[in-house]
Structure 1
Amino acid sequence: MKSSSSSYTLPAKRGWRGLVVAVLGLVILSMLVPLVFLLGLHNGFHSPGDLIKDQSLDSADQSAHVDDLMRILGPSLSKDVIGDFFNEADNETVARGAMQVIAEPKKGLPAHPVIVLRPLHDTNIIRVDSSVEVTEYVKGVIDDTSEKSCQLEFGSYCLWREENKEEMKDSIVKKLKDQLFVARAYYPSIAKLAAHDKLSRELKQNIQEFERILSETTADADLPPQIKKKLQKMGAAIAKAKSFPVDCNYVDKKLRQILDLTEDEAHFHMKQSAFLYQLAVQTMPKSLHCLSMRLTLEYFRSPSLHQDLLLAEKYFNPELHHYVIFSKNILASSVVINSTVMNAKETGNQVFHVLTDAHNYFAMKLWFFRYTYKEATIHVLNVEDLNVDYHDKSTLLRLSLPEEFIISFRGVSKSPVTRLRTEYISVFGHLHFLLPEIFPSLKKVVVFDDDVVVQQDLSPLWSLDMEGKVNGAVQFCAARLGQLKSYLGENSIDRNSCAWMSGLNIVDLVRWRELNLTGTYQRLLQEQLNMREASLRDVALRASMVVFQDMIYALDGTWALSGLGHDHRIDAQAVKRAAVLHYNGNMKPWLELGIPKYKGHWKKFLNLGDQFMSECNVNP
């Protein structure tokens, strides 16, 4: 029985093993054949876009890294809100079109929209109740045009790119790349035609020659001689390839593949450029950081800087003209003070209070000790040493600068491509609302942002009758509180009240104390934080606008002209007439990205001969 069992089991085992080997062979072949086809090995030449594919994989990893960095540097708002203000028939608001409000830090740039509004006539309206927050932004909901998509994704970088667009250079290199793409698309089909080996070899040689040239140069000036003849030769070969019957579907597929890969690469580079732009506008230039460090070091090397008691008395004299500047930038605050005193009829009654943080306090002290500004008095304050009553002082001191917000308007137009108009609104930061406590003996102060330049005498501001108002400011009536209603989260606001701008403000501290606006602000701030998942910076616009509702004294528009930090199209005569120029926006005059034609108004008030500026190579 044993032998009989063995004689039947052995053949069965052999047959089973053979079947396994056959199945494994089929599986391996089924995997190898598509792989060989995809890699272009069937014709002995690289498939079009193989190199680009490898690059695109690297770009994907880099893109993810850039995304992470942009999220870190982006605005602090964590939610996107899509809403529709125009639930009532309001012809005025409809005529003004929709707007998108984007919160961003003072020196920064926005990354994603926070509020998106659309006019009623639009066909793709998303109607969401203003109290509802949508946590996920729906792409393409505003418009599918490239320019709008760019602004939604990359923020004000796209505005800068549009204004600084240059004529395309290196056109021959571009033509080389175009011909190389087309030749790569046609080559595999021509290589299959046995009767056209000569054309196949010619195409392959031209492709290899073009790849070699493009690997060695990226500019027309570096191209080898006889390049035009090479272009003509490639063009003739491509023309011959097009004249033969080829698999059009294959060529179409290859060209589309190249197009998709090129678009992905272009999108990656745009994202990277937007990140670098954002990094440039949010970080302090190395030269300015050097200046602050050198001045701080020199402060501790110098003998004790004694303060004149007579000057100390001026700090609290309510009969003098007091100006307040919130700044961490030595050059910026110096330009504000220098431009003010240079255009003032009388400087002996001027006192400038510069509020800064501990990192820049000693550098500021030494700078303003070394320089005199006619007869004006300079008082440098460290906000961390302030003796004020506030529920969270540590948080407050990190937010000493004014806050900037972006509003993008889209006008109502029948044109399929409607351009967005972007404006920057700057409002008081949290430290501004402690002015009555910081200066308890003062009656009035003029508050400056540090990105302003004064061009005229400001003494008439002190004789203004503010009619019981608290804050004298230039209004921004292109944005009314009614249009910002869902963002402000208030049902009691006056729909027709205009937004207002910081930069130049005359503040009646006596009236402020009577109305206890500081207490009102703190109450609104706490309510906003309880109602929303937001940070202190997020609610700055809401609280600032609501607190000063009906308390704004409208200054004439010639007192302050805004937009010099983002608008290239400001009229030269308007710049000349304005008493104060406000460089609100990302392109500050001390940055390399600053708008060149406006920089001269700022640079002429710099102390360019300073030793430390020279050592740190400070040349804005």
Structure 2
Amino acid sequence: MKGGGGAYSMMPMKKRWSWLVIAVLGLVLLSMFVPLAFLLGLHNGFHSVTHSGQRDSASSRSGAALKSPLIKEGLPKHVNGILRNPGPTLPKSVGVGSSTEGPKTAQVIGQNEKTCELKFGSYCLWRQQHREKMKDFIVEKMKDQLYMARAYYPSVAKLTNLELFTQEIKQSIQEFERILSESSSDTDLPPQIDKKLQKMETTITKAKAAVVDCNNVDKKLRQLVDLTEDEANFHMKQSAFLYQLAVQTTPKSLHCLSMRLTVEYFKTSPDDADLSESLSNPDLHHYVMFSNNVLASSVVINSTVMHAKDSKKQVFHVLTDKQSFFSMKMWFFTNSYKDATVQVLNIEDLDLLEGQPSTHISMPQELRISFLSASTSRTEYISVFSHLHYSLPRIFPTLKKIVILDDDIVVQWDLSELWNVDMNEKVIGAVQFCMVKLGAIKSYLGKESYDADSCMWMSGLNVVDLVRWRERNVTRTFQGLVQRRLTETTTLGATMLTFQGLLFALDDKWVLSGLGHNYGITKESINKAFVLHFNGNMKPWLELGIPNYKIHWRKFLNQEIRFLTDCNVNP
């Protein structure tokens, strides 16, 4: 009986040991699967609603990684990658402008880089050249903390029994907003900023530890990202507008110069010299320029004269509007250009186009043409003849041949060679611009017939045979095209169509264009060109001008003149 009883009592002991083994194995398996499940939770973005303060804190830290640059060292590379770039966890939604800088700002700008120049023109080129790198670490850290505090504040505010903590977050947000509105660099920050940073860090840590709905935090993060996108786009458009305004507005110094010259003209009343013989002599080299910019026209004439072998044969006719007429007269009366002759004419006093009121006549202009392809975007600035150019045969009835110069060029060679060019009975000589073909501007050409593969050409430097012009009645051809196509872009299309078959292509060495918008022109190309054309918005007399190119313009400006010093003219 005893032996039987002992054998019977051993059975429960064996069962208990087997259950202990199973329990240990279960704990081992659990210890392996829990970290794996935690990592999978990170990978999926922790979208589920949490009920544990610890898990909620982990989820919040993954959201904080959207902005915070302080990624923890020692974590696996793929985890750090997820923390740095959460990717599709923040889809785009509609938002309203905000002063917060979001984490996707750089990404948004990168996505728009290809179409930036198409939308905003040469402003984007100028912006890339003048972009400043933010080196103020404390300001950037404050923005990061403000971003996270704003993300958690709505969710914490919904919790009960946390009214005091909610008020603390609100006050911290308001204080950071005030500081950042007054400070853009670390040197502008108020004293004891380190304590404020530590206080905000403590506040954010408490917010992460609170039991909040992670979906609400995620929605707020998406909203802040979209608000930052919208504000970045708004500021981009506003900056582009201000840039265009700066381009089209006469600088204060140049306006001062024009006013001072006008006042001086009426004070001194200079007598006009008798230049009638040289002005109408067809054997001299006559240059025509339309301009209302004193400095620009002066640089063109000075650079042309400085490179001329015989300046006595050079005659310059500057056509300007009534507002700039007296300042132009005074400038060229007080400044001499070797032995060259300079005449200033007021276009409003001239008999120009038949049936064309003077109020409808505008100065020469440039047109911006943008091209967008799958890989790149490109913007070109085409300078074309205005209505005024078609009055030249009437303005200069005795002349046979002229060279038309735009006021945004710099001459680096003797232009007298142009009078020896045989144009094969063509009317106009110009450098062809094959970056744009006529087929690319078909919307400007209407239903007229043309060769779509023909290269465009620009004003800037043009040789004109006025004898052939009169024989071909070019002015009437242009007027007929304009009357058939009364649109805002009439001039471009009508000019290209008017001179079809009448263009003589000059050698490319004569003109190098693009110095007013293209940053990629090499120094070697500039040195080889006979004429530099600053077509584009970044004119050399503006502060927006490209510095590497402005030096070629500035060296032909006499800055010792008293009026330049008085008006602080220093382009």
Q: Same fold (TM over 0.5)?
A: yes
Deviations 1:500-552 (A, max 9, x none): 011001111111111110110111111112xxxx24xx200010000011211
CA RMSD of aligned residues (A): 2.5
Give 1:566's aligned residue.
Answer: 517
Residues 308 and 413, structure 2, Cα contact 8 Å, conserved in 1: yes
Q: Distance in 2 between matches of 1:557 and 1:430?
A: 26
Deviations 1:297-321 (A, max 9, x none): 111111441313xx22000101000
Deviations 1:312-359 (A, max 9, x none): 200010100000010000110000000000011110100000001111
State which of 383, 391, 395 in structure 2 corresponds to 1:434.
391
Residues 485 and 491, structure 1, Cα contact 8 Å, conserved in 2: no
Give 1:80's aligned residue.
Answer: none
Q: Distance in 2 between matches of 1:546 and 1:208?
A: 63
Residues 253 and 567, structure 2, Cα contact 8 Å, conserved in 1: yes
Residues 517 and 537, structure 2, Cα contact 8 Å, conserved in 1: yes
State which of 548, 552, 555 in structure 2 corresponds to 1:601.
552
Residues 322 and 353, structure 1, Cα contact 8 Å, conserved in 2: yes
Give 2:350's aligned residue.
Answer: 386
3-state DSSP of counterpart to 1:483: helix
Are 1:213 and 2:170 an aligned pair?
no
Are 1:364 and 2:328 an aligned pair?
yes
Q: TM-score, normalised by structure 1?
A: 0.71
Give 1:341's aligned residue.
Answer: 305
Are 1:405 and 2:367 an aligned pair?
yes
Give 2:380's aligned residue.
Answer: 423
Are 1:258 and 2:220 an aligned pair?
no
Residue 590 of structure 1 deviates from its aligned partner by 0.8
Give 1:119's aligned residue.
Answer: none
Larger radius of gyration: 2
Residue 388 of structure 1 deviates from its aligned partner by 3.6
Deviations 1:270-323 (A, max 9, x none): 222222111110111111111111111111111441313xx2200010100000
Residues 474 and 498, structure 2, Cα contact 8 Å, conserved in 1: yes
In structure 2, relative to structure 1, the CA distance for the partners of 1:177 and 1:460 (3 Å cut) is same
Residues 117 and 378, structure 2, Cα contact 8 Å, conserved in 1: no
3-state DSSP of counterpart to 2:440: coil
Are 1:375 and 2:339 an aligned pair?
yes
Residues 118 and 377, structure 2, Cα contact 8 Å, conserved in 1: no
Deviations 1:230-249 (A, max 9, x none): 43553454344334431112
Give 2:128's aligned residue.
Answer: 162
Residue 202 of structure 1 deviates from its aligned partner by 6.1
Residues 403 and 540, structure 1, Cα contact 8 Å, conserved in 2: no
Q: How many equivalent pairs are there?
A: 467
Runs of 5+ in structure 2 lacking a partner?
1-94, 100-109
Are 1:542 and 2:524 an aligned pair?
no
3-state DSSP of counterpart to 1:165: coil
Deviations 1:444-464 (A, max 9, x none): 101000000101111111100
Runs of 5+ in structure 1 lacking a partner?
1-54, 60-143, 413-417
Give 1:6's aligned residue.
Answer: none
Give 1:315's aligned residue.
Answer: 279
Are 1:300 and 2:250 an aligned pair?
no
Give 1:472's aligned residue.
Answer: 429
Residues 118 and 379, structure 2, Cα contact 8 Å, conserved in 1: no
In structure 2, relative to structure 1, the CA distance for the partners of 1:212 and 1:364 (3 Å cut) is closer
Give 2:569's aligned residue.
Answer: 618
Residues 481 and 495, structure 1, Cα contact 8 Å, conserved in 2: yes
Residues 497 and 549, structure 1, Cα contact 8 Å, conserved in 2: no
3-state DSSP of counterpart to 1:434: helix
Q: Distance in 2 between matches of 1:227 and 1:419?
A: 45
State which of 133, 142, 155 in structure 2 corresponds to 1:176.
142
Could you tell which deviates more after superposition, 200-209 or 350-359?
200-209
3-state DSSP of counterpart to 2:226: helix
Q: Distance in 2 between matches of 1:194 and 1:486?
A: 65
Q: Distance in 1 between matches of 2:181 and 2:294?
A: 46
In structure 2, relative to structure 1, the CA distance for the partners of 1:354 and 1:251 (3 Å cut) is same
In structure 2, relative to structure 1, the CA distance for the partners of 1:168 and 1:434 (3 Å cut) is same
3-state DSSP of counterpart to 1:375: coil
Query: Identity percentage over the alignment?
Result: 62
For residue 265 of structure 2, what is the amino acid of its counterpart? Y
Q: Distance in 2 between matches of 1:194 and 1:387?
A: 84
Give 2:485's aligned residue.
Answer: 528
Residue 564 of structure 1 deviates from its aligned partner by 0.7
In structure 2, relative to structure 1, the CA distance for the partners of 1:196 and 1:558 (3 Å cut) is same
Residues 455 and 578, structure 1, Cα contact 8 Å, conserved in 2: yes
Could you tell which deviates more after superposition, 251-260 or 359-368?
251-260
Q: Distance in 1 between matches of 2:177 and 2:97?
A: 20
Residues 318 and 343, structure 2, Cα contact 8 Å, conserved in 1: yes
Residue 149 of structure 1 deviates from its aligned partner by 5.0
3-state DSSP of counterpart to 1:424: strand
For residue 189 of structure 1, what is the amino acid of its counterpart? S
Residue 216 of structure 1 deviates from its aligned partner by 4.2
Structure 1 residue runs of 4 or more that deviate by more than 6 Å after TM superposition: 55-59, 195-199
State which of 128, 146, 165 in structure 1 corresponds to 2:112.
146
Give 1:268's aligned residue.
Answer: 234
Residues 589 and 595, structure 1, Cα contact 8 Å, conserved in 2: yes
Give 2:317's aligned residue.
Answer: 353
3-state DSSP of counterpart to 2:276: helix
Residue 199 of structure 1 deviates from its aligned partner by 6.4
